[in-house]
Structure 1
Amino acid sequence: MVRGRKTTRDIILWVEEQIVPANGAKFAVDVVSQTLLDIGSKSFTHLITVLERYGQIISKLCPDEEMQLLLMDEVSAYWKNSTQMTAIAIDRMMGYRLISNLAIVKWVFSPANVDQFHVSDRPWEILRNTVSKTYNRISDLRKEIQTLRKSIQVGKEASAKAIKELEEAKSILEIVEGQPVSSERPGRLRRLQGFADKAKEEEVTIEESLEAKQALLARGLEEGKELLRLLFKSFVDVLTECLPPVSADGDVPNLRAGDPNVTFPASDPEAVTMEIDNENGADNNSQVNGENTEVGYTIGELEQWCLCTLGYLKSFSRQFGLTLACWTRRFSLRVFTLLFEKPHSPVCADR
């Protein structure tokens, strides 16, 4: 139907009447997403064109977070060998409002992706794109509002000037047959009246645009707050589960020293340490030109996961630290308490 250039409405009706009743909504999402992704796989331009033309189908099938999470699973499965295209597809879908930023955060912190935090940049790239785009929208709206406020001032001045010229023209009178009449030509008066009406309309239009942008900004700020709440709460949840506990004396475990509290069980020897590739296949105990090649320490996989996740937590905290510092005065959420009010918490161990 897509290759036959059927309209979006026809495809939606076909999916709702033929696919969903017989196989369910999840199967419909699978079929539609795989079809559209396959058509858009030729190039970035093809992907954008498909999303622009048939985005309403995806929006109809994925109205809530549950279906949006399923959609992102389908995107990830289709582009499993291309981190870049996965990130681009999800980013574009967010740009077209097909998936929400909150759904993306929940998907990134799903168990399948959490296990990949220390071995793949894909979840981190998608997460950073999502947060950055959300706050870029807010920044753009603020700039647009500032520009509109300046335009309103200019519009008011232009409107006042046009009205003043019209009133001055009407005030010039002359006596004709004993009656006071305007000395200006009717054509000029009509022209001045048109200028005044147009200036007033432009002023009203700009004011309406300003009100609309302010409403969008207010909604964007609320979305941003909810996004950061969910983001840092998700960090706390996964780190609280995986980080080693603080000792009774308040000592924070040193993740870089191969602390025994964070290594995997001995029954899994392949997961205990990272395998180090030596140049030219040399043995660990061999020496080159009299130099000692002794390995200083080894880091277990769980330690590596903790250090990687803490590093990204630190990065996000630095990027949005000012915003968080402002919001923590108003929010009493456990996530902010853990992140900023307990310096001996394991979440703050490597910050």
Structure 2
Amino acid sequence: MLWKGRLLGAAKGIETAEFGAVEIPEELVLRKLQQMPGLPGPAIAQAVELEVRATSPFAMDDTVWGTHALLDKASGKNLVEVILASRRQIARYLDERQSDIGLRSGRKAEAWVFATDGNPIIVRGWGEQSREQEVVRQRRVAFAFVFFAMVIAGMMAITPSLQLRARSLDAIAAFESMQHETKQAAAQREAFTHSVEQLEVVRGVLAERIDLLQLMTVLTKVLPDDTYLQNMQTQGLKVSIQGLTGNAATLMQTLGSVPGFREVRAPTAATRALAPNAENFRIEIQLDPAVFSVAVNPASVAPPAQPTLGASPATSPSVSSVSNDSVGASTTTPASAETPRKSRFTR
């Protein structure tokens, strides 16, 4: 009989097989059931070998054996079925059946003996080594396929991430290239922004400065003929004037109606002066930057030509003292260049 895989059939008419086994007949083997204590596998194998050496009727160099573990269901004890055979008899029997097995050239058949429970017991020393080596080779191949499958699956899993990373690197490189190309334009833009900021600062400073020439021109036009300025001080857009006038209340009403004079008030009450029909006044005026700021009239920043002062009070008056607190010192301010109108400033 021939075992091929897990099918039992007649030896004749079977196709060529990679591996095969021949069942050893009962007349060539001896059987023995041996009860074993609960020992590990290597210890049981050593105990069986000692038992075989002690009970084998064959010479030790001619003795072959095989074992199969059994479980006695009735008693629950561990049993080992041991088979003994002569090496020369097994070899002679396999040689007689080798041509009937149908194995590939160079392959040897295995020697099997069936245990009492129907499972084969392999008598070692013949073709089982080739089969076991092939099993190991196939197992390695299977592991290799599993490994490569896992590698491919991992690559498929990380491919989108790698693509995203590559796109990110390309985007970073393109951004850096664009930054390098626009570096000069960015520098010009930064310089322009800095210039605009400086202009805003200058505009803010100029917005707090008064156009004194325009202010003196307006005062010269609106002050009555009986009004004379003795002192004028500026602080930002705030002007404080002091002098003599015939009627301080009328003067305040006149100044309050002047365009550009936002707020006109008297911090102190007017007092009677030593001169006849004259009052001492002090008035504070809050100017509108849209009218009197230097930022609105930048041409007035340059100092105007100072007119020639004459000797007559009616035709060539001058300012007594005009001070600007933002400068921190009292400055002499020229009178209006309009000669037809009488000046309101006294020395």
Does the alignment reach a TM-score above 0.5?
Answer: no
Higher helix share: 1
What TM-score comes out, normalization by structure 2 length? Answer: 0.20
Q: Which has the larger radius of gyration?
A: 2
Higher strand share: 2
